[in-house]
Amino acid sequence: MASPSTAAPTATPSARFPPQIPFIIGNEACERFSFYGMRNILTVFLIDYLLRNAVPDEGARSAQAKSLMHLFMAGVYFFPLFGGYLADRWLGKYKVILSLSLVYCLGHACLAIFENNATGFYAGLVLISLGSGGIKPCVSAMVGDQFNESNKHLVKKVFAIFYWTINFGSFFASLTIPLTLKHFGPAVAFGIPGILMFIATVIFWMGRHHYVRVPPTGPNPHSFLKVVGSALRHRGQGSHWLDGATREHPAEAVEGAKAVFRISALLLPTIPFFWMLFDQKASTWVIQARAMDPQIGPVTFQPSQMQFINPALVMILIPLLVGVVYPALQRAGWELTPLRRMPLGLAVGALSYAIAGYYQVVIERGTTLNIAWQLLPYIVLTLSEILVSTTGLEFAYTQAPREMKGIMQSVWLLTSSLANVAVAIAAALNVFTGSGQFFFYGGLALVAAVGMALMARKFEVRDYYQLDTSGPVPDRAQPPLASLSK
């Protein structure tokens, strides 16, 4: 008899969520508070505490802090490849989430304990990037695993709650942890997120008897890398360079690999330029805020606190755009498709950096701006995030066949990792400083927007949906005929 953890999901009342969902949602809320709590103060901590004696010059210290922060973020978005592979092939999602959550907690402990020890602190960052990145692709997928035919109509609602929870945790972490750093010091400021991560792990563990656990598949003889390797061994066969792989792999696996390269050719040359903009709100924009007047009425804001604007706006703007703006444009005869949203989002992101760059020019001329001025570029950058990030994640999923959806999600996360590596290298070399860096990154995003818009005109959209989730798809690499007819 199958154990409760591995048995097929039982029917649940169609109007209610499965009882294990609150454990996953509670885990996500605490984990996101822990991550954004430590990340949002990382740049300021490196400048004001850890690097103060090692790098006396403040300009050089700020550049090094920025470089270290983006190297950390590159790891966070690289390790999902590792966590997703372990979960899908060998251990299953539950074991990966629980084990890497403990690694995550250990990393937080290192930050709190080694506030004056660079080696110990950096070790903590490595452990957090491994833990946070490793569980990233598993938690959201595990949410979907808890649903079956009787309640699949609730999946969209639960993912809306899940995404809202992420921003809920980020919002309160951004407001409270910078103040904790100022008033109680680094040990407490990094310790609180560590406690929240431990609570997140306990909450997840408490639901262990309720979860539906999809077993790992084991090695895939027709994986993406094996198809590519086969094609390289049998070059020159067929009209496409991957056609030679049909000698050793089924046609659907080869078609899936073609889809990965087709989508990657659109996303990899363009989307990293968005992440170069977006992730610098935790570094470059924080450094700019340090040069501004922090007093807004009776409240004194910490430079890192201004990051609370982003999650607050996300919770407001997504319902507005999805529920009002997109349908209104469609009724007017101009549908804002994913291939229109993403280039537009890149251009909007470039605008946010033009505004922030103008502020920096004014600051460099000797004028002290109030920190409230950052509200405008934050609004514009958040709009860019919704147009690019949420759209691109959906696009990468729908355009890939079922066998390749995992690899496409990995490619999507890889765009962020590559972007952060590039920013880290540029910051370490200290090539661009002051206002120049704002206009440089904004200009790159604008060029990427134009390039993506031109490539999108020739891109053939193929929506791959699994029509019947209860059984296999006979010709798994082919999209529905209705999709092709469009």
* SS3 annotation, 42-70: HHHHHHHHHCCCCCCCHHHHHHHHHHHHH
Q: Write the burial class of residue 310 (CB in 10 Å: 0-12 exposed, 13-18 middle, 19+ buried).
A: buried
At which residue do the structure tokens 């110990």 appear? Answer: 120
- Per-residue pLDDT tens, the chain, 486 aa: give them: 344 444 444 444 557 889 999 999 999 999 999 999 999 999 999 999 999 999 999 999 999 999 999 999 999 999 999 998 899 889 999 999 999 999 999 999 999 999 999 999 999 999 999 999 999 989 988 888 898 877 878 887 888 788 889 999 999 999 999 999 999 999 999 999 999 999 999 999 999 999 999 898 888 899 899 999 999 999 888 889 999 999 999 988 998 899 999 999 999 999 999 999 999 999 999 999 999 999 999 999 999 999 999 999 998 988 888 889 989 999 999 989 999 999 999 999 999 999 999 999 999 999 999 999 999 999 999 999 999 998 887 788 788 887 677 788 788 989 999 999 999 999 999 878 899 999 999 999 999 999 999 999 999 888 775 444 444 433 334 443 333 333
The pTM score is 0.89
Beta bridge partners of 370: 293
Q: How far is C-alpha 375 from the chain's CA centre?
A: 22
- Please name which of 69, 73, 60, 72 lies closest in space to residue 430, comparing C-alpha atoms: 60
At which residue do the structure tokens 């290298």 appear? Answer: 425
Cα angle value 295/297/301 (rounded, 5°): 35
Residue 248 has, within 13 A of its CA and on its CB side, a CA count of 18
DSSP-assigned letters across all residues of 309-322 = HHHHHHHHHHHHII
Q: How far apart (Å, rounded) are the C-alpha atoms in residues 341 and 449?
A: 10
Q: How far apart (Å, rounded) are the C-alpha atoms in residues 88 and 370?
A: 49
Do the Cβ atoms of 277 and 441 come closer than 8 Å?
yes
Do the Cβ atoms of 341 and 387 come closer than 8 Å?
yes
Burial 158-182 (b: 16+ CB within 10 A, else e): beeebbbbbbbbbbbbbbbbbbbbb
Cα angle value 178/182/183 (rounded, 5°): 115
Q: How far apart (Å, rounded) are the C-alpha atoms in residues 251 and 473?
A: 14
- Please name which of 101, 151, 91 lies closest in space to residue 128, comparing C-alpha atoms: 101
Tokens of 75: 């790891």
